[in-house]
């Protein structure tokens, strides 16, 4: 797996802390920093997600992918799956994630709660590289709802 991240450079009178990531699969992802009113030269322009937000989003994508795939392989009729992640970070550098909570909402026809619980557990214990990696610094908790539909 490869990825090239390039600084977008300065634009106009204001510093730019935007970055462009080009993935090995040929996709592009923009990232930017938060504005810094005390030191504008160190801040971004709030034009794209922060790098750590993309880490959190990638983790959500990784685990949701697993949950859907596990449920489909179990021949469950999955019609929707979302996961809302909330996190806390360390106060001092490096500001790693210290707590992450993932709340899954799975929609489908006749999906037993036990199947969803099992899929989430399998993702977090065995398949989701991102959450397993983040679990080295963060306490990861999960919850879920199953909606008939």
pLDDT in tens, 139-148: 999 999 999 9
Angle between helices 113-122 and 51-73 (to 10 degrees): 130
Averaged over 118-147, what is the pLDDT?
A: 98
pTM for this entry: 0.90
Name the H helices within 38-85: 51-73
Please tell me the predicted confidence (pLDDT) of residue 15.
57
Share of the chain above pLDDT 90, in %: 82
Averaged over 100-118, what is the pLDDT?
A: 98
3-state secondary structure of 96: coil
Please tell me the predicted confidence (pLDDT) of residue 45.
85
Look at residues 94, 97, 98, 114 and name the one whose alpha carbon lies nearest to residue 106: 114
Give dist(CA 33, CA 48) in Å, integer.
8
CA angle 37, 38, 41 (to 5 degrees): 80
Given a contact cutoff of 8 angstroms between Cβ atoms, the answer to whether 136 and 96 are in contact is: no
3-state secondary structure of 92: coil
> Could you give phi then psi for residue 14, rounded to 5 degrees?
-115, 145
pLDDT in tens, 7-26: 987 655 555 888 999 999 99
Structural domains of the chain, ranges and CATH numbers in brackets: 3-42 (no CATH), 51-148 (3.30.300.20)
Confidence of residue 40 (pLDDT cuts 50, 70, 90): confident
Given a contact cutoff of 8 angstroms between Cβ atoms, the answer to whether 48 and 32 are in contact is: yes
Confidence of residue 77 (pLDDT cuts 50, 70, 90): very high
């Amino acid at each position: 797996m490869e990825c090239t991240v390039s600084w977008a450079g300065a634009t106009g009178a204001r510093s730019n802390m935007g970055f462009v990531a080009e993935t090995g699969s040929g996709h592009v992802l923009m990232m930017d920093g938060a504005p810094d009113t005390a030191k504008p030269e160190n801040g971004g322009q709030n034009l794209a997600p922060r790098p750590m937000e993309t880490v959190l989003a990638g983790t959500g994508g990784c685990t949701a992918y697993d949950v859907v795939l596990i449920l489909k392989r179990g021949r469950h009729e999955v019609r929707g799956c979302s996961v809302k992640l909330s996190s806390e970070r360390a106060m001092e550098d490096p500001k790693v994630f210290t707590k992450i909570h993932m709340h899954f909402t799975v929609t489908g026809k006749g999906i037993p709660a036990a199947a969803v619980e099992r899929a989430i557990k399998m993702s977090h214990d065995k398949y989701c590289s991102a959450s397993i990696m983040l679990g080295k610094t963060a306490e990861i908790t999960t919850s879920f709802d199953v909606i008939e539909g």
